[in-house]
Structure 1
C-alpha cells in the first residue's frame, strides 16, 4: 500500500511544482525554493561499442547495468543523497500529502472470496500493515480462517519483499509460492506444508514465480528467465529432490517469443504457451502423466494468434 502511495506523493509534488507562479500560497516562499547550490552527481562515460547489422552504436553508460559493481553502487548512492538533499525543503509537504492520501484508503480491507477445490480463498489487509494476509476457509465462509501466508511477517528481514504465484496442490495440502527479495521479478519457489505450517526443504531459485501442479501432488512445472528477464524455459520439479535434479521440458529458442505454463480449467492438462506480438503456440500434457511428452496443438505461424480451452474430451 505504501509503495502505491509514494507514487501519488511524487505526483502531487510534481503538480505543486507546476502551479503558476501567480497562484497565492500560505507557505513560506523562501522555504519552498528549490536548492540550486548543490552539484548533481555525474556518471562517468565509459564507451562500449556495439556492432550489429552493419551499424556501430556507442553506449557511454552501459557499465551502469553492472548491479554488483561497487562503482555503480556508489554512484546510485550519490544520486539518492542528491535527491534527498534537493527535496529536503519539501519534507513537510511530502508527509502531509502522504497522510492525506493514506486517509482516503481503507486500510482494513478484504478481497471478494473465491471458491476453489472445496475452499474459499481470501486476501485481506490490516490497518497499519503494509502487506497482505492470504487465507482460506474450508467449505463455508463461516468456517474458521486458515492463514496461508502472513506476508507482513515474512517481509520483516528484508528491505523489499514480494510474493507471487500462490498455488495449492490438488490435495489441498501444500502451498507453492514465489518469493522475490531483490525487486528483480526473479523468484525463489518455496513450498509450505499446510497441515503442519512448516516449509519443505525444497526451494527453487531464479524462477518466474509460478508453480503449476500435476495431479499426483508431487510434480510442479515452472518457468526460468534469461538475462533479459524473458521467460524462455519450462522445468519440472519433483518434491523431495534438489533443484539441481529438475528436468528441462521445454526451451523457447526464438528470442522474439516468451513462454509460460498453466493448468487448464478442467484440471486435466498442463499447458505450455509461447507468444510474441503476432503469433502464439500451445503444447499440452495430461496432468495425470507429468513425466510424459507435451504435444503441439497448432504449430506457430506468423500472423496466427489463438488460445485454447479444454472441456470434457475436446479442445476448443
Structure 2
C-alpha cells in the first residue's frame, strides 16, 4: 500500500510539474459581473448573482453586456485551447469516421405515399422525401434541408406535416437556436412557399381536414413557454389567428397533435 501511495503521489507531482512547465497563453480570465437578485419560491429565498444575464433572452438593457461577456469567454477559450488544434481535428475525424453518413430512415406509409428522410454523405442535414404508392416509384424531394440551411450559422427544421390532400407541406424552422420556430407552407405542385409565415411557435403544425386550416401552439417570446393553441386559415393575416385554448398555469406545458381516429 505504501508503494502504491508513493507511486500515485509521484505521478501527481510529475503531472503538476508538467502543467507548470507548459507555456500557457498570457490572456486574462473573463470575470462576470455580479448583480445579486433575491428570489423567493415556496417560502425559500435564494440569491442569483448572474440573473441579469437573462436579459439576453428578454432583449433587455443588459443584453449587450451579456454578448460582450460571452465574446470574451469564447476568446479566452480559443486562446487556452490554441495549442490543441491538431489534436481536436484528429479526434473530430476519428469520431466522424464512426458515423454512417449515407443513411436512410425506415419509410412509413401515409395517405398513399411512403415518406422517409435520407442523409447525404458529407452533408450536415437530411433530405425529406416521398414516393407515391410504391417504394419503387420515382423519388419526390419535399425539402432539402442542406440547401435551406445555406448562409445560416444555425438551422433546425422540424414539424413536417403534409395536408390531407397531399398537396401542401407545413414545416417549421428555427435559425436562432431558441426553439422558436417559424411555420412555413410549401405548395408541393409548384415548389413555391406561400406567403403565410407564422412566427414564435413550438414548431408543431397540424392540418385540419379542409386542407386550409392549421393548428399550432404559440410561444411567449420572453418565457418561451407554449401558452396558446392557435388556428390559422391560409391566406389570412397571422395577427387575426383565433385562440383555441389558452393555458393560464405557467407550470403546465401544452402542445397540439392529431389523433389517428
Shorter-chain TM range is 0.7 to 0.9
Aligned length in residues: 240
2:106 aligns with 112
2:158 aligns with 164
- 1:51 CA displacement: 4.6
1:39 aligns with 28
2:127 aligns with 133
Q: Give the direction of change, closer, same or farther, for the CA distance of 1:129–1:148 in structure 2 (3 Å limit).
A: same
1:204 aligns with 198
Work out the CA distance in 2 between the residues paired with 1:174 and 1:157: 26
- 1:252 CA displacement: 1.1
1:270 aligns with none
1:308 aligns with none
1:13 aligns with none
The aligned runs of 1:14-53 (5 Å cut-off) are 33=22, 35=24, 37-52=26-41
Work out the CA distance in 1 between the residues paired with 2:207 and 2:100: 35
Larger displacement relative to structure 2 (60-69 or 146-155): 60-69
- 1:127 CA displacement: 1.1
SS in 1 for 2:203: strand
2:234 aligns with 239
- The answer on whether the counterparts of 1:234 and 1:249 sit within 8 Å (CA) in structure 2 is yes
- The answer on whether the counterparts of 2:126 and 2:145 sit within 8 Å (CA) in structure 1 is yes
SS in 2 for 1:45: coil
The aligned runs of 1:15-94 (5 Å cut-off) are 33=22, 35=24, 37-52=26-41, 56-67=45-56, 68=59, 69-94=63-88
TM-score w.r.t. the length of structure 2 is 0.86
SS in 2 for 1:140: coil
2:139 aligns with 145
Higher helix residue share = 2
SS in 1 for 2:135: coil
Higher strand residue share = 1
| Aligned partner of 1:155 among 149, 157, 176 | 149
Larger displacement relative to structure 2 (49-58 or 109-118): 49-58
Q: Give the direction of change, closer, same or farther, for the CA distance of 1:34–1:154 in structure 2 (3 Å limit).
A: farther
List alignment gaps of at least 5 residues for structure 2: 1-9, 13-17
1:9 aligns with none
List alignment gaps of at least 5 residues for structure 1: 1-19, 23-28, 267-316
- The answer on whether the counterparts of 1:191 and 1:199 sit within 8 Å (CA) in structure 2 is yes
SS in 1 for 2:86: helix
1:228 aligns with 223
Query: Cα deviation per residue 1:116-163 (whole Å; 9 max; x = unaligned)?
Result: 110011111111111110010111111111111100111012100000
| Aligned partner of 1:217 among 195, 211, 215 | 211
CA RMSD of aligned residues (A): 2.0
1:192 aligns with 186
Q: Give the direction of change, closer, same or farther, for the CA distance of 1:245–1:54 in structure 2 (3 Å limit).
A: same
SS in 2 for 1:248: strand
- The answer on whether the counterparts of 1:34 and 1:89 sit within 8 Å (CA) in structure 2 is no
Query: Cα deviation per residue 1:78-137 (whole Å; 9 max; x = unaligned)?
Result: 000111111111111110011111111111111111111100111111111111100101
Q: Give the direction of change, closer, same or farther, for the CA distance of 1:263–1:120 in structure 2 (3 Å limit).
A: same
Query: Cα deviation per residue 1:2-55 (whole Å; 9 max; x = unaligned)?
Result: xxxxxxxxxxxxxxxxxx958xxxxxx78x948374321000112223355555
SS in 2 for 1:210: coil
- The answer on whether the counterparts of 1:206 and 1:224 sit within 8 Å (CA) in structure 2 is yes
4+ aligned runs moved over 3 Å, structure 1? 51-57
TM-score w.r.t. the length of structure 1 is 0.72
